[in-house]
Each structure stands twice: as C-alpha cells, then as structure tokens.
Chain A
Amino acid sequence: MSGVAELLRHPALWRGSDAGAPRTVSTGFRHLDARLPGGGWPLSTLIEFLVPAAGVGEIRLLLPALRALAAATPGEPRWIAWLAPPHLPYAPALADAGLDPARMLVIRPRAGLDRLWAMEQALRSGVCAAVLGWIGAAGDQALRRLKLAAEEGCTPGFLLRPSAHRAECSPAALRLVLTPRDYGLDVEILKSRGGGPARIERLSIH
C-alpha cells in the first residue's frame, strides 16, 4: 500500500484528477465543492449551465462565487459582466445580495453574432471578475474561441443556455444541468474536466 502511495508521488506520474491543477473559487456550497475538481468553480475557463427555464436559481447558485470573485481583488475591483441577460439585473437586489452595483456591466447586443463577439471581448480584456453570458445557440468553434479568450483573460465565463443544448458537445471545462426541485436545485454534473463520472448533487439554495 505504501508502495502505491510512493508511486503516486512520483513527478513523472500524471493523474486525471490533477490535470493542470485548476485554480478555483469555492461555489459556496460545501457539497458541490466536494464534487468539483479543485473544490470549486474553475477560473480562466468556460462553465456551462443548462437550465430548463431562465430563472430556476442559476444566479442564486452563482452568487457566493460572484461575491468572492468581485472582492478577491487587490487593486481596483473588477467587473461582473452580464451579457444579454433575459431581464435587467435589479440593482437593489444585487446590493442586498452583497454585490456592489457599481461593478456591474450590462451589455445588451442586438444580434446573436454580436453576443459571441462581445463575450469574447469581455473575457479577453481581463478586467472582468466573471462574465455571465446568455449567448443562446453557438457552434463548437465559437465556444472554443470563447474558451481561449477566457484562458487569455484569466476570467471565468459562465454560459447560461437552455437544456435543449444538452446533447451538443461543448468545450466547456464544466457542464452542469440545473433542475429546480422543492425550493432547491438539483445539480447534475454532466461533464467535468479532471473530475469523476457524472452524478447528481442535490442542493438547497435560498
């Protein structure tokens, strides 16, 4: 047994679970953190949420992480970009939730192509703590561009898309399916780079 442990410490040995040892930020939910590689949302990449309807609880799921991301900056606080949200972010509620409304950046492009372009710009600029994008349908190549932009700008990009896109392949490092259940949320981990097999985590969020 000790021999195995020693072998595992060998520097030449590469294991799936520590692929690139992603920097993460805690989701704020202990059970969910435990299931995610690195113990939280990976930074500098794409994270995809598949939701049956806008507003099932995806923002509340993100709130603790957004708070942490917006605060964890030594200099000028960074922006939280809302790209083509289905409704307007409501400043009083954001302030109540502990997010500074002054650091919110709402971007409402008209056309679908402009959405992808704007999200790429926001991710690449490196001045956003997080970019939340409701980009709708997007091809694999477009998503790959976004992922590269996220890596370049060291910014997590949260894609919020309808569950209909579940069967499509996606380069996102983490794909979650959210299902509302009894005032809480079922989080199904569809894909997780460097994580275990898919499974469902039941969260109660308020």
Chain B
Amino acid sequence: MLEGRPATLTPAPASHRPALELVPVLPGVAALRTRELWLAAYFPRLPLDALLPGSGQARAAAVTAPDDPRRSIVACNERATRQGVAPGMSLNAALALVPGLRVAERGLPAEAALLDRLGRWALQFTPMVSLEPPSAVLAEVRGSLDLFGGVMALWRRALAGLSASGLQASLALAPTPRAALWLARADLAMTVTRADAMPGLAARLPLACLQWPEDTVATLQGLGLRNVADLSRLPRAGFAARFGPQLLNELDEGLGRRSMPRRRHVVPERFDERLELPAAAELVAGLQPAIECLLGRLDAFLRARASGVSVLRLDLQHRGQAPTRLRVALAGMAGDAGHLRELVRERLAQCRLAAPVTALRLRSGVLLPLTLCDAGLFERGRSADPEATARLLDRLRARLGQQSVFGVSPVPEHRPEYAWRVAEPGRTTPVPLPWPAAHPERPLWMLAEPQPLDCWEGALVTGPERIETGWWDGHDVRRDYYVALSSAGVRLWIFRERPPGQGWFLHGVFG
C-alpha cells in the first residue's frame, strides 16, 4: 500500500464535470494554497497490529470480533488474505481455510492505546492532530509545509516513519479532513491541494471508503450507486430523508461544501525521569540524595506548569532483576515539594531492599492544574481546609498503611453488624436523620465480631429488643438484645440467640 510517491496525476475522464483538477504539487505557489491541508493516515489492520505486533508474514493471523457468536474476522494479515481469509468471514470458515490460523480476540483498549501513540507520532508534523477512531489519524499540516520543505518532503517523511513502524498504513493529503480520510481509506495515496478538486475525484472513491453502516451501503449499491460521485448527483432532500441528515453532512464535508471542525488530540504531560546511582545502594538511606535530586526536578517541573499530581510511582531498579515498584497515592492533589518529599520518605522507610539499587525512576501520574487559594491568616485551625486534610491523610497512610485510616458510614439495615461500613473519610452516604426512626439506643462502640460471654456477672438494665431479620441472604439473625451493666460499671450491649440455649454474646459497648 505504501508507495514511494503519490499517485501520478491522470487527466480527468471527460464525462465528469468539472474537469478533474488534480494538481501537481508546486510548493510556494500562492494560487494553489487552500486554508487548510489535512494529512490522513489510515491503518486498515490496526486491530491486528495492536494485538499481534510484528505478526508479519510468517504466519497467517486474524483478529475476531469480541461480542459475536460467529466470531467473525475483523482483520487479518496478508498471508491469511492470500489463503482466502477475508474480514467478515466467520472464524469457522477461516479455520477451515487456514487450520494453523493464529487468532486473537479484538482488544479495543489496545487499539485505542496504539492510536494514541500514532497521534503522538503525528504531533511531530503539527500541533493540530486529531484522532479518528477506530483506525485513522488526521493532521493539519498547512502551517508546517515551509518547515518541512514542502508537501513532497513532508509526505516522504511521514511515509518513512510509517514504514519504519511496521504498521500497514495508507496516507493521503486533502484540503478537508473528510476528503483526506476518504482518499486514505480508498488507498489512493494522493496529495490533493486544491479545494475545488474533490468533486472531480469523487468518481474514484468507492462507497466502502465512506465506512457507512453495512446495510446503508448495501441499499445504495442496490440502487446502482458505485462511488461518491454517484452519491453527489442524488437529490439532496431525498437523500437526507432516506438516509438521514448526518450522512448528507458527511458527504458535504468530504466534497468541501461544509466545514468539519476537529477535536485536537492533546497529549497529557507527565513527569518521567531516571537517575543512575554512582554506586549501587544497599540501604534505603543511600538512596536519599538521588531521591532528593529527582524530587527537586519534579518540583521544578510542577512549578513551571502550575500543576499538581495525585499519584507518584518510584521504581527502584536492580541489576538483572525486576525493579521494586513503589506507589505513592495521594488523598488529594499535591504540588508542594515538601509534602511529596515527606510521603516518599515514609513510603521508602516501609520498604525493604530486595537487592542493591542501581538506578531510580520517578514518574508522575496525569498532571492536574493547581488552584491556588490563600490561607486565612487569623482563621488558622478553625476549618478543615481540604488540602490540609488531604495532607494529613496522605501522611498517615504513607506510614500506617492505606487500610489503617478510614471513615465510617451508616447503612440503613436492621442487623446491627450490617448497619455500618468502612468508607473513605468524608465520603459517607448521607442517611436521612433520624436514622432509622425510633429504635432503641445503640452503643457507640461495636465489636468487630460478637464475642461469647463465658461467665457473665452483671445486671440486665433494659431489654429485650428482638432483632429477627435477614433470612433472605443467609446471614439471618434471631436475637434478643439487652442493655447490661458489667461488674466494672461498663454499660454493655449483649444478646442471646433465639431459641435460647446458646449462651450470651457481647456485641457493643455504650462507652
């Protein structure tokens, strides 16, 4: 598919109006300039390339649709194509043709990640890059032509990059994003630089390059329509009424009658730096200077971007061994180097070095914009500033462990042990108060598990309160609860299983 040069320009068939104006590229000729010029890169085998990179030609390989009882083929490599496998075929049919077919189920996340990587690659040509999921990348390159030395130089550069990547790709240049996309899907490898050239080219664009729903394409073919030029000759109102205004809009976008705004592909910035230690460190203390250095760089990085992070990853790399990975998750977002330093130090103090450390790598999660708020000068300590709360939680968790710091939340439930749950501090489900209306007093403290009372000395104060419920989920309780006073003077909440005979259990302390 990838040819060294764009297709040579052929004279237009006389039957078409206006005459086909595929213009040879003449860089720097102002008359030929359109306002925009879009480079489209289409990856027909992206589902395959994302899952089986470098599957090459050694063995026939195919990717199947995930939620399909027939497991029909979505994409296959050239070797499989040569042996008769084609997209749309059921897996059984494909296996009958090629018994040794290598099969993988389509992985949409992997495809999205690969497309994202391709988007980053395209950012070398222009800041205006837009993804066209599932399998195309668009880049507006008009402004970059002079930098790269003209259309041809840019074209060759893009082509070389894609060839090196080993991905199956086809390129096209056109004045509108939709047109470039069509040309790339049709694998015409063309550079069209004049805005009025598209209608003339339409006859060479088969319906398949539109990638419209299959039944729509089948209907159109049933009407005897073969290419985009045929479509453009249809009455507009009738077309819109029959196939919907969306498809008419697409047609207009492709033929340059309508603009097509694109969303920019923005690559989130992250901090990622590695530092070799001058000598392998065997103790955590030996890492300290290197960590200080990395954190200093992180601080400068965050400061320059007025950003904070909510997660940090620190890899301790060893010689000939998998790195020790540490993760510091923050309750909120932090941009304060002192706080980050403290957290990393606490986290490191918890860890034991499995082997001498030769290098460190510090990575940030996604950067988040930092909003500055001025701290009240006189109101110090009067309200729970969320940032100070997050700092406290981070510090406690870094040393004590994530599970050791939590909040509690009531749950509307009659069984006492299910009437609460552990929650993230401050993220409690609000329960309408009073909760639940008019039940007898509950103890302020609950035991994790009811504790059998072997020899019980004390007095019953109030009770019984019968709780008999929960038969539907297998954790049913049938209990009589009493408030009791122990010999030490502690008010207890105790119960007796029903029917009686299984002794007494302590469940709560009134405190």
Chain A residues with CB under 8 Å of chain B are 52-60, 73-79, 85-97, 100-110, 114, 117-118, 121-122, 125-128, 153-155, 179-181, 183
Q: Does B382 sit within 8 A of A, measured CB to CB?
A: yes
Of all chain A residues, which has the CB nearest B386?
A: A76
Q: How far in angstroms is the closest Cβ of chain B from A38? A: 18
Smallest CB-CB A-B distances: 4 pairs:
A180-B489, A75-B383, A59-B511, A154-B381
Q: How far in angstroms is the closest Cβ of chain B from A47? A: 16
Q: Select one of A58, A90, A110, A181 contacting B442, CB under 8 A.
A: A90
Q: Does B448 sit within 8 A of A, measured CB to CB?
A: yes
Inter-chain contacts of A56 with B (CB < 8 A): 488-490
Contact A109 B404 (CB under 8 A): yes
Q: How far in angstroms is the closest Cβ of chain B from A103? A: 7
* New A-B contacts (18) at CB < 8 Å, excluding given A97-B444, A118-B396: A55-B511, A56-B488, A59-B511, A73-B383, A76-B386, A78-B384, A88-B420, A89-B408, A90-B419, A92-B442, A93-B446, A96-B441, A102-B407, A102-B409, A102-B428, A104-B408, A127-B385, A181-B489
| Whole-angstrom CA separation of A117 from B405 in the bound complex | 14
Inter-chain contacts of B11 with A (CB < 8 A): none
Q: Does B33 sit within 8 A of A, measured CB to CB?
A: no
Q: Select one of A57, A60, A90 contacting B446, CB under 8 A.
A: A90
Known contacts: A54-B509, A106-B405, A121-B396. The answer to whether A89 contacts B428 by CB under 8 A is no
15 A–B contacts from the bound complex (CB under 8 Å): A54-B509, A55-B445, A59-B511, A75-B379, A90-B442, A91-B408, A91-B409, A91-B420, A92-B416, A92-B419, A93-B443, A105-B407, A108-B404, A110-B404, A121-B396
Q: Does B25 sit within 8 A of A, measured CB to CB?
A: no
Contact A127 B388 (CB under 8 A): yes
| Whole-angstrom CA separation of A77 from B383 in the bound complex | 6
Q: Does B389 sit within 8 A of A, measured CB to CB?
A: yes
| Whole-angstrom CA separation of A103 from B409 in the bound complex | 10
Contact B420 A153 (CB under 8 A): no
Interface residues of B in 392-414 (CB under 8 A from A): 392, 395-396, 399-400, 404-411
Of all chain A residues, which has the CB nearest B412?
A: A92
Q: How far in angstroms is the closest Cβ of chain A from B445? A: 4
Contact A101 B407 (CB under 8 A): yes
Q: Select one of B385, B400, B409 contacting A114, CB under 8 A.
A: B400
Contact B407 A104 (CB under 8 A): yes
Inter-chain contacts of A92 with B (CB < 8 A): 410, 416, 419-420, 435, 442
| Whole-angstrom CA separation of A126 from B406 in the bound complex | 18
Contact B409 A90 (CB under 8 A): no
Contact A89 B444 (CB under 8 A): yes
Contact A90 B420 (CB under 8 A): yes
Contact A127 B490 (CB under 8 A): no
| Whole-angstrom CA separation of A50 from B384 in the bound complex | 29
Q: Does B425 sit within 8 A of A, measured CB to CB?
A: yes
| Whole-angstrom CA separation of A122 from B416 in the bound complex | 30
Contact B488 A53 (CB under 8 A): yes
Contact B384 A94 (CB under 8 A): no
Known contacts: A55-B511, A92-B410. The answer to whether A102 contacts B399 by CB under 8 A is no
Contact A55 B490 (CB under 8 A): yes
Contact B384 A79 (CB under 8 A): yes
Contact B382 A87 (CB under 8 A): no
Q: Select one of B421, B434, B511 contacting A58, CB under 8 A.
A: B511
Known contacts: A102-B430, A121-B392. The answer to whether A87 contacts B445 by CB under 8 A is yes
Q: Does B491 sit within 8 A of A, measured CB to CB?
A: yes
Known contacts: A56-B489, A92-B435, A95-B410. The answer to whether A87 contacts B388 by CB under 8 A is no
Inter-chain contacts of B382 with A (CB < 8 A): 73-75, 154
Contact B420 A107 (CB under 8 A): no
Inter-chain contacts of B391 with A (CB < 8 A): 125
Q: Select one of B406, B428, B492 contacting A106, CB under 8 A.
A: B406
